[in-house]
């Protein structure tokens, strides 16, 4: 998952980013509503964590602009404002979830995973593709019932493919979901990661669709 985090607290923002990266997420952190809002309007993210009390442009206006422009990425508002009127304003602006500070990082992670899963069209937390299973709420993969050990980049690629199994994901879109905005990415890095995944889960589950991208499919096993 690639997460957009817009939080102006100089301690909390980096702390949340570190916690999300420890859960294999790619995170782009912004400290104001102008730059963060622009990133959300122009870059590919699986979800956004948005503070309300931001400098330059508050989070409610950032969110309204995204929705007016047709941006449908899942948005979780993370704020110290706990009044009912603030929650109403957040949901009216287009928020998908609302979490009040102070909070547990574990809860934030679980809520984000649920938002991303539902946005991909999965009601159940467990997703299967042949011998491969993904428990979306915990982030755990299993192959033939046994835990699958993955690096952070392998997890990001495989989770993106799993959430949209049987669909072709464009190579560029997949790279955007995997790498942070300031990452120095080698041109063949995605192919290297896919190659490593094929060695771990089998060569047939990830299909290369020439000229388009990749597809996770169990059809070759039928």
Among 7-11, 88-92, 195-199, 215-219, the minimum mean pLDDT is found in 215-219
Q: What is the mean pLDDT of the chain?
A: 93
CA-based torsion, 67, 73, 76, 78: positive or negative: negative
The model's confidence at residue 177, banded by pLDDT at 50, 70 and 90, is: confident
**What average pLDDT does this structure show over 161-188?**
85
The model's confidence at residue 211, banded by pLDDT at 50, 70 and 90, is: confident
- Of 3.40.50.2300, 3.40.640.10, 3.90.1720.10, 3.40.228.10, which CATH number belongs to 2-119? 3.40.50.2300
Contact assessment for residue 198 and residue 206, using Cβ atoms and an 8 Å cutoff? yes
Give domain limits for the chain: 2-119, 126-221
pTM for the predicted model, two decimal places: 0.91
Q: Could you count the other beta carbons within 10 Å of the beta carbon of residue 34? A: 13
- Confidence check: pLDDT of 215 > 80: yes
**Closest C-alpha among 109, 171, 169, 167 to residue 140:** 109
The model's confidence at residue 220, banded by pLDDT at 50, 70 and 90, is: low
- Confidence check: pLDDT of 184 > 80: no
Beta-sheet strands, E only, within the chain? 2-6, 26-30, 47-50, 75-79, 97-100, 126-129, 132-135, 140-143, 146-147, 168-170, 206-209, 213-216
The whole-number pLDDT of residue 12 equals 95
Domain 126-221 classification at class level: mainly alpha
* Residues 113-150: tens digit of each pLDDT: 999 999 999 999 999 999 999 999 999 999 999 999 99
Burial class, 220, CB count within 10 angstroms (exposed 0-12 / middle 13-18 / buried 19+): exposed
The whole-number pLDDT of residue 218 equals 87
The whole-number pLDDT of residue 221 equals 58
- Whole-number Å distance between alpha carbons of 125 and 135: 6
Q: How far apart are the first and last CA of the chain?
A: 29
Q: C-alpha angle with apex 178: 10 to 131, nearest 5 degrees?
A: 130
The whole-number pLDDT of residue 179 equals 84
Q: Could you count the other beta carbons within 10 Å of the beta carbon of residue 119? A: 15
């Amino acid at each position: 998952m690639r997460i957009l985090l817009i939080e102006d607290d100089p301690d909390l923002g980096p702390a949340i980013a570190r916690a999300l990266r420890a859960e294999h997420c790619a995170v782009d952190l912004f400290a104001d509503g102008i730059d963060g809002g622009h990133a959300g309007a122009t870059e590919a993210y699986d979800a956004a964590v948005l503070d309300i009390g931001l400098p330059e442009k508050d989070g409610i206006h950032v969110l309204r602009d995204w929705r007016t422009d047709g941006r449908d990425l899942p948005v979780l508002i993370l704020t110290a404002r706990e009044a009912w009127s603030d929650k109403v304003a957040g949901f009216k602006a287009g928020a998908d979830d609302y979490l009040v500070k102070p909070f547990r990082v574990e809860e934030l992670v679980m809520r984000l995973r649920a938002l991303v899963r539902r946005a991909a069209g999965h009601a159940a937390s467990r997703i299967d593709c042949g011998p491969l299973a993904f428990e979306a709420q915990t982030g755990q993969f299993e192959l033939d019932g046994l835990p699958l050990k993955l690096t952070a980049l392998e997890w990001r690629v495989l989770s993106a493919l799993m959430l949209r199994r049987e669909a072709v994901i464009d190579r560029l879109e997949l790279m955007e979901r995997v790498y942070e905005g300031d990452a120095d990415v080698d041109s063949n890095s995605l192919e290297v990661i896919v190659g490593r995944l094929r060695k771990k889960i089998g060569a047939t589950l990830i299909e290369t669709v020439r000229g388009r991208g990749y597809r996770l499919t169990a059809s070759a096993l039928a």
